[in-house]
């Protein structure tokens, strides 16, 4: 059976899902439908499609994972993935408790100046929130978060 292939940008990642943790690669589209260039990883993960391909480390063929079973997807940062380059984003250092995991990093709040509270950010309609750490981007499913709070620094 022949498959049609579309261009993608391969990105190393680990997936913490209900049932375990996998390391390998995800595949981002080369162009965003919202702006020029590739989509930000949080933009990609929050798309309405339920399933995505994942190539486990050492495997020859990708498997299909269900986003609804993903607690966190962690992408190692490299020159191809950059923190948002908006004019003046408001970065807020936070700690997230997600099951037995504690994740520290910053969220970039891109809302009006009246809505820069962590509560406003957490109540946005996205399914996953991006947490930027020094060397990784954590995409955390909000429904798996048990606690989140502002921290002094990361």
pTM of the model: 0.84
Q: Which residues are within 8 A (CB) of 49 and not within 5 positions of it... i.e. 6 or more apart? A: 67
Q: Could you give the CA distance from residue 54 to residue 64 in angstroms, rounded to a whole number?
A: 6
Among residues of the chain, what percentage have pLDDT more than 90? 56
The confidence score (pLDDT) of residue 61 equals: 95
Q: Could you give the CA distance from residue 79 to residue 135 in angstroms, rounded to a whole number?
A: 11
Highest mean pLDDT among 5-9, 36-40, 67-71, 107-111: 67-71
Task: Give the pLDDT band of residue 81 (cuts 50, 70, 90).
Answer: very low
| Domain coordinates in residue numbering, the chain | 8-81+89-154
Give the chain's mean pLDDT: 86
Kind plus residue range of the DSSP H or E element containing 103: strand 101-109
The confidence score (pLDDT) of residue 94 equals: 95
């Amino acid at each position: 059976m022949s498959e049609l292939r579309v261009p993608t940008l391969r990105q190393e990642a680990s997936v913490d899902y209900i049932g375990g943790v996998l390391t390998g690669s995800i595949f981002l589209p080369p162009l965003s439908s919202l702006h020029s260039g590739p989509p930000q990883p949080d933009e990609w993960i929050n798309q309405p499609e339920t399933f995505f391909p994942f190539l486990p480390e050492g495997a020859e063929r990708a498997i299909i994972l269900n986003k609804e079973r993903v607690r966190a997807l962690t992408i190692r940062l490299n020159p191809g993935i950059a923190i948002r380059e908006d004019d003046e984003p408001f970065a807020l250092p936070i700690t997230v408790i997600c099951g037995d995991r504690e994740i520290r990093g910053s969220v970039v709040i891109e809302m009006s100046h009246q809505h820069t509270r962590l509560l406003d950010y957490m109540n946005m309609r996205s399914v996953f929130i991006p947490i930027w750490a020094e060397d990784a981007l954590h995409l955390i499913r909000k429904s798996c978060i048990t606690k989140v709070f502002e921290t002094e620094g990361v």
